[in-house]
Chains A and B, each alone.
Chain A
Amino acid sequence: KQEVTQIPAALSVPEGENLVLNCSFTDSAIYNLQWFRQDPGKGLTSLLLIQSSQREQTSGRLNASLDKSSGRSTLYIAASQPGDSATYLCAPRGIQGAQKLVFGQGTRLTINP
C-alpha cells in the first residue's frame, strides 16, 4: 500500500526566499507524480506533472524533481511571493489497480510580505 509523507508539515518564511518542499513515497511502481496547490476551502490546482521516466519538470518559478528509485520528489519554489501561500500536495499515481493518486498530508506554506 502506497504511503506518502511530506516534510515539513508547515513552513512560514519571508517573501523572496527560495524554498524546497519534500515528498517521499514507499512504492516506486508509479506512472507519474503530480504536485498540487490547494487554497483554503478550494479544490486542487495542478502545478506540475512529472512522468516516471523524467528527472524534473519546470513551470515558471516552480521546479519539481523525481527520484523514483529512492521514492522522493521535491518541489522547488524560487523567489517566493505572498500569493504562493497555500497547501502543497504531492500525489504519486500507481501502476496497480485503478492508477489512483495517493496524497500526502501536505505542506502548509505561508509567505510573509
Chain B
Amino acid sequence: GAVVSQHPSWVICKSGTSVKIECRSLDFQATTMFWYRQFPKQSLMLMATSNEGSKATYEQGVEKDKFLINHASLTLSTLTVTSAHPEDSSFYICSAVRDSSNQPQHFGDGTRLSIL
C-alpha cells in the first residue's frame, strides 16, 4: 500500500487563489520531504527540500514567497501556491525519506493543479 499520501489529487481554481497541497508519510517518520514539479512529457524538477522544524531549501529559480513550504511534523509537509496564475498549472509531486542515506524515497500520487 501507499506509504506517502498526497492530497488533493486534483484542483481546479480561479487565478489569484492560493492552493494548499498536503503530503503525509503514513508509516514512517520523514525528517526530509521533497517537492517536485512536472510539466507534460517532462521529467521531475526538484522545487525544494523540506526538513522538519526548519526552513525549506529552495532550488535556484523557485520563488520561496510564491511556493510556501511548511514541514511542521515528521509526517506532514505542505506546499502552498500563493496567488496562483495559469502558468502555475502543473503536476506537483512530493516524496518522503527516512533519516538515512541508504533508504529509498517514497512518492505521493501527485496533485494536478489547473488554474483558470
Tell me how many residue pairs across A and B have CB atoms closer than 8 Å.
Answer: 54
Give the size of the chain B interface in residues (CB under 8 angstroms): 22
Interface presence of B106 (CB below 8 A)? yes
Contacts of A89 in B (CB 8 A): 43-44
A34-66 residues at the B interface, CB under 8 angstroms: 34, 36, 41-46, 49, 51
Residue among A44, A46, A101, A104 with the highest chain B CB neighbour number at 10 A? A44
- A103/B44 contact (C-beta < 8 A), A43-B107, A43-B108, A43-B110 known: yes
Query: Which of A98, A104, A106: most chain B Cβ within 10 A?
Result: A98
Q: B interface vs A, CB < 8 Å?
A: 6, 32, 34, 42-44, 46, 49, 57, 91, 93, 95, 101-102, 104-110, 112
What residues of chain A have their CB less than 8 Å away from a CB belonging to chain B? Answer: 31-32, 34, 36, 41-46, 49, 51, 89, 93, 95, 98-106
